[in-house]
Amino acid sequence: MFIRAGYEVALDLQTPAAMILMLYLEPARDATVRRAGKLETDPAVEVQEFTDIFGNRCGRTFAPAGRITFRNDMVIEDPGQPDPQSPGAIQHPVQDLPTETLPYLLSSRYCAVDSELNDLAWRKFGGQMSGWERVSAVCDFVHSHLKFDYLRARSTRTALDAYREETGVCRDFTHLAITLCRCLNIPARYATGFLGDIGVPPVDEPMDFSAWFEVYLGDRWHTLDARHNVPRIGRIVMARGRDASDCAITTTFGRNALAKFKVWTDEVPEP
């Protein structure tokens, strides 16, 4: 199958400002691009690409005061299969984990392991469960505990806030699931990118970039989604990190206001 994915994001800058952009596909997706997209800016500014410490493809630029718009539009080939499920995936003792997974056991800005969520995690999921069964139970709990409410989105909400407030958007579902997994000594990392209504009934909500998470079990990373809590088709990663603070689509070093935000992710015929 083929997916047309893209965005148009506009910001109003009060003064000239440096910016970091995460508006690219993950490098592993390059081989699946069938109609290449290119990051366009209006007005035209130079964007220097670099790779961050998490392996994400990023850009940096210095934008003039006023409105700046970022656009991209591409077609990507996708297997068209739901997220793989691995019921037998085992949980490794911490001492046996690869060193590169250890940062995903620790607290981060939105995911405080040293909080009341630690006691909650062991009380609810610390019995005989382990591995895939334990992570699935975490997803079931987060999915039922939080109510999705786009109008109550808040950039400062932590995993603990989401648990207490019982509401949030996809990033809050993801932060709470990540934190509970880390409390249980399961490496968990944040992922963001495109996820359209492919293979499911469309929802009457504005399209946005989506957030989900990955856990390390059985010697590899697995994709899970506590908000939808079902395997989905057409998930396209843009960035990964410890939490949303590592995966901001745009970071502006100066005062700014969002002027336009449009995202599309649709199945299309072969280009």
Q: What is the predicted pLDDT for the residue at 270?
A: 80
What burial class does residue 38 get, using C-beta atoms within 10 Å of its C-beta: 0-12 exposed, 13-18 middle, 19+ buried? exposed
What are the tens digits of pLDDT across the range 117-154?
999 999 999 988 899 999 999 999 999 999 999 888 89
Q: Are strands 33-35 and 66-77 parallel, antiparallel or unpaired?
A: antiparallel
Q: How many CB atoms lie within 10 A of CB 54?
A: 15
Q: What is the predicted pLDDT for the residue at 205?
A: 76
What are the tens digits of pLDDT across the range 208-261?
999 999 999 999 999 999 999 999 999 999 999 999 999 999 999 999 999 999
Q: What is the predicted pLDDT for the residue at 191?
A: 98
